[in-house]
A and B are shown apart, each in its own frame.
Chain A
Amino acid sequence: MNSKKKMFMYGGVIGLAAAILMRFGNPGNMGMCIACFWRDIAGALGLHKAAVVQYIRPEIIGIVFGTFFISYLTGDFKARGGSSPLIRFILGFFLMIGALVFLGCPLRMIIRLANGDLNALVALAGYVAGIFVGVQFLKKGYTLGKNYEQAKIAGFLVPIFALVLLIFLVVKPAFILFSTEGPGSMAAPVILSLVLGAVVGIALQRSRICTAGGIRDMILIKDNHFLWGILGIFAFTLIGNLVLNFGKINIGFVDQPIGHTDFLFNFLGMALVGLCSVLLGGCPIRQTVLASQGDTDAGITVIGLIIGAAFAHNFGLAASGSGVPTNGKIAVLIGIVFVLIIAYSIVADQKNKSAKKSKGVSANV
């Protein structure tokens, strides 16, 4: 099988899993959504008080375990870190704000699109625009610096966190919150979610699929390798929905499940996600996968996602079906400006450094 077909099939596994999970109880167009699921986990841990989005999503636990085991077997697992952790945290934080204003990570954007939600098309345009801007910084020398080998235990921390979450999910201690209504109460059976999560984790780890990477590589090096993975997700979610969720397919802008029709902020929210994803080197799915295979910088990014989600609900930034609150709009605009300043400063720093270096060399000659 050639590499493009392989990517398409790997993407297909993810898309099919999303359709199956929606069929068996997950919220509308939310068979899989990395941002929403981390947000639900933040709620279950009591980090935010939005009673309708609190649940320990087994899909996340499955993805972490699946990735961890397959990366350990194949030798990709490696404890590393130390590449601008605090900047990564901030980028993860604002990425989540953008995602919760649109209402979904890039994966859910594709899934929404595959079910006819045309707001996701507006968001896709924003995502591509954000990635395009991010690529301009990459071309000018943007970098978060080198990572270094870390103590082995550091690489196990995210899988251990997932194990703790699994225990909370099974034992249900009183301090863990579970929604009784709203999207957080809608879920496929735990075992199914766990197993399909693990399958998706393995597919993601082996394929290295990244929704931002697919678009970035097209712009940066004209390579469509990962784009085939994204197409696979789209095609198989669509096929899966045609077979399993036919009654729920709804082509248009209005009355879409867990989505709103604010064009400008669907665009800007996902533009912020695209920008942050490129600057981080990967979208939320890819960050979650990397975090599960020993990359502690990605681990910090995931913590940024969780804290971002907590703030988004505590400060009333997150959108809902009825639209985007004013606070959310302001937060997205602040996020875009702040992230651009970070990227610009890093590029300026790099220029200074290389100017100094070449001066040093010519002085030696």
Chain B
Amino acid sequence: MSKVVDARGRSCPEPVIMTKSALEADCSGIQVLVDTHVAVENITRFAEGKGYKVNVKEYSEDYEINITME
């Protein structure tokens, strides 16, 4: 089970910063929870830019972003 980062309720750019520091601590992969589509876009762009594989699952209010090494 990878590390979970809960960035729900955080405004831009905090979800990206939280993702960045979590990936720096554990570069194998993490799961990030967010609740805005903007955060999904920003985190996806950031993680894919770093060469990670990104998988997004959408729930009614939240998004689950799984970031893994390819």
Contacts and interface: CB of A to CB of B under 8 A. Distances in A.
B46 A208 contact: no
Nearest to B7: A146
A144 B13 contact: no
Q: Is the interface of B mostly helix, strand, loop or mixed?
A: helix
Nearest to A297: B11
A75 interface: yes
Contact of B46 (A83, A221, A297): A221
B13 A76 contact: no
Interface in A200-246: 208, 210, 213, 216-217, 220-221, 223, 225
A130 interface: no
Contacts of A210: 12
A147 interface: yes
Given A138-B17, A220-B13, A221-B16, A76 B36 contact: yes
Nearest to A278: B13
Nearest to B49: A223
A78 interface: yes
Contacts of B16: 220-221
A144 B14 CA distance: 10
A155 interface: no
Interface of A: 3, 75-76, 78, 80, 83, 138-139, 143-144, 146-148, 208, 210, 213, 216-217, 220-221, 223, 225, 281-282, 295, 297
Interface of B: 8-14, 16-17, 20, 35-38, 41, 45-46, 49
Identify the 4 closest CB pairs spanning chains A and B, nearest first: A146-B9, A281-B11, A281-B12, A147-B9
